[in-house]
Amino acid sequence: MSILLCAVAALAPRRQQTLSVEAQPSNLTTPIRWLHIPKTGSSFVVAIYRYACPSVATDELVTLLEDDCMGPCLTVTVPYPPETYCTGLTSNASDADGSGTVLDEHFPPVYPRDTGHVVSLFRQQYDIKISLLNFAHELANDSYVESCGGSERDAPNWMKAIFRNMLPQTPEGTAVADELSTLAREVFAPNASNELDSATLDDMRCTFLTGLLPRLQGAQTRMAFGDFFLAINASLNATQPPLPTDTAAVESVLDNFAFVGTTERFNESVCAFHLALGGSPPSVDELLVHGRKSTPSGIDWPAEAERCGLPTYLIDDTDPDAEIYRLVDARLDATIADLEVDMPGAMQACLSGSG
């Protein structure tokens, strides 16, 4: 799916608005708060806009994403700032001090403030990890920046902003983000293999993976419970704060959500989201839209994890997120089943693009 670039909204100044469209009052009874878990599909922002920003034409958003280079969120929120155009979002800002918007960050929900309003997609944890590793590699070696016009992005600061967005907004979180960013830049730089001997390069790559992969354990569960995507403490010998992963606890936290879907079932999730919350069914173009995908790195990440002594951190069934993904997938099934009872044929019509 699409790369995670909502995190860098501060690096892309809003364009002067010349559009005639103005925000229209939403008739929807459930204002939403999007929990955008990194690497679960930024193109879901089109569904968010269709639901919560009724004055913005979906076909315009789809057209914008066809030429996406900033990442879907910035591609949409720069010309159509949600604070101006979106009346179906909660009024809650996404960060503690009240700045930012709910669409420009990967910050967790705050309970009870956001209870009953949260919508989110979840993804198989292995795929999230591989996608994030490929993205870090692509951004660190400047191939993404070069493919998107080169000078328009400051890749080192861009990467720092992204990692900072996934960690607690504290001096410690900033320090961890900057360390991960610096390591990635050093180990995946285009000339790294020419400047460093292979043993040093291998050690540096292991240092990066040791700093990142343990922090990704239970990332989706952590966000659902109101914490940040990456754990602060990545020490393999330290006791991480326990994640409540028993079924009853996870079911209870999912009760805070107005809707949950999965990246793997993207089209079903988009249709069920709109239908279950009373929005208008999407067009077939919306179901097909996806932002720019990260380029595969060519690195065998499981083999690298094995070499670095981290094999379990890329195995799905050892990650606490396995339980929340199973329950989310089951809830999506239940939502679709309920829709078939309440609105027979609506899901099929939506998926065929005739809804």
Tens of pLDDT, residues 182-227: 998 888 876 666 677 889 889 999 999 999 999 999 999 999 999 9
| Of the listed ranges 53-62, 78-87, 139-148, the one predicted with least confidence | 139-148
pLDDT surpasses 70 at 77: yes
pLDDT of residue 155: 59
Threshold 0.75, pTM exceeds: yes
**Buried b or exposed e, range 54-77, using 16+ CB within 10 angstroms:** bbbebeebbebbeebebbbbbbbb
Residue 133's pLDDT band, with cuts at 50, 70 and 90, is: very high
What are the phi and psi torsion angles at 265 (to 5°)?
-115, 55
Would you kindly state where each structural domain of the chain is located, as residue ranges?
A: 6-351
Q: How confident is the model at residue 73 (pLDDT cuts 50, 70, 90)?
A: confident
Please give the share of the chain, as a percent, with pLDDT higher than 70: 74
pLDDT at 23: 38
Is 219:37 a contact under the CB 8 Å cutoff?
yes
| pLDDT, mean of residues 301-312 | 93
The phi, psi pair for 334, rounded to 5°, reads -65, -40
- Per residue in 259-297, pLDDT tens? 999 999 999 999 999 999 988 777 666 666 554 556 677
Distance of CA 222 to the CA centre of its chain: 14
Tell me what the pLDDT averaged over the chain comes to: 80
Per mean pLDDT, which range of 156-160, 161-165, 307-311, 337-341 is the poorest?
A: 156-160
Q: What is the pLDDT of residue 337?
A: 98
Q: Quick one: tokens of 139?
A: 């951004």
